[in-house]
Amino acid sequence: MSAVTQALTLVAFPVAAAAAGTTISTLRPPGPRLVSAIQHFAAGVVVAAPAGEVLPSLRKEGRLPYAVAGFIAGVLVMLAMAAYSRRQEAVAASQSNPPTASDPSPQHSRGRGGSVARQVTRRAATTRPPRPARCDAR
C-alpha cells in the first residue's frame, strides 16, 4: 500500500463523519444538551491526546512535575475566567432592562449575546417548535 493510499484510508473516516454530522445538524439542529455533550467529549479528546503522547516522554526525561503544574495552573486560570465571566454577566443582567417575550435573556457586557452556550440555548429555544402536550390515557 502506498503512502498516499494509506493517508487517504486514514483520513476517509473523519471526513465522512464530518460530512454526515454537518448534514444531520443542518436538517435537525442539535439541542443545548447535545451541544454540551459534544463539547465535553471534544474536551476529553483534547486532554487525552497529551496524556497518551506527551506525558510518557516527559516522565522519562524527569520533567513530569512541571507539566502537571502547568496543566493545573491552566485549569485554575480557565476556572477563574469562567467565574469572572459569570459574575460580569450577572452584573450586566441586573443593570439591564427586563427581558422581553421575544428575547428571553438580556444582552451582556461581553458583546452582542453573551456566552456561546447562552446563544446556542437561545437559538434552540427560538428555532424549535413547541412540543405538543402529552395525554396519558389509562
Separation between Cα atoms, residue 101 and residue 113, nearest integer Å: 16
Residues 64, 1 within the same domain: no
Task: Taking residues 49-57, report their average pLDDT.
Answer: 84
Domain membership flag for residue 36: yes
Separation between Cα atoms, residue 23 and residue 44, nearest integer Å: 24
Task: Taking residues 8-15, report their average pLDDT.
Answer: 93
Domain membership flag for residue 4: yes
Domain membership flag for residue 132: no
Q: Are 113 and 107 in contact (CB under 8 A)?
A: yes
pLDDT surpasses 60 at 56: yes
The residue whose grid cell reads 460580569 is 88
How long is the chain? 138
pLDDT in tens, 62-104: 888 998 899 899 999 999 999 999 999 988 888 876 555 555 5
Domain membership flag for residue 67: yes
Give me the pLDDT at residue 95, please: 85
SS3 of 94-123: HHCCCCCCCCCCCCECCECCCCHHHHHHHH
Residues 52, 114 within the same domain: yes
pTM, two decimals, is 0.46
Which tops the pLDDT comparison, 76 or 126? 76
Residues 111, 47 within the same domain: yes
* Domain count along the chain: 2
With vertex at residue 73, the alpha carbon angle to CA 72 and CA 77, rounded to the nearest 5 degrees, is 120
Q: Are 32 and 124 in contact (CB under 8 A)?
A: yes
Residues 37, 24 within the same domain: no
Task: Taking residues 7-14, report their average pLDDT.
Answer: 92
Residues 12, 78 within the same domain: no
Residues 11, 50 within the same domain: no
Which tops the pLDDT comparison, 119 or 75? 75
Domain membership flag for residue 23: yes
pLDDT in tens, 17-48: 999 999 999 999 999 999 999 999 999 998 88
Residues 47, 69 within the same domain: yes
Give me the pLDDT at residue 16, please: 95
What domain range is 20 assigned to? 1-29
Residues 42, 88 within the same domain: yes
Residues 10, 73 within the same domain: no
Task: Taking residues 115-132, report their average pLDDT.
Answer: 61
Give me the pLDDT at residue 94, please: 85
Residues 85, 114 within the same domain: yes
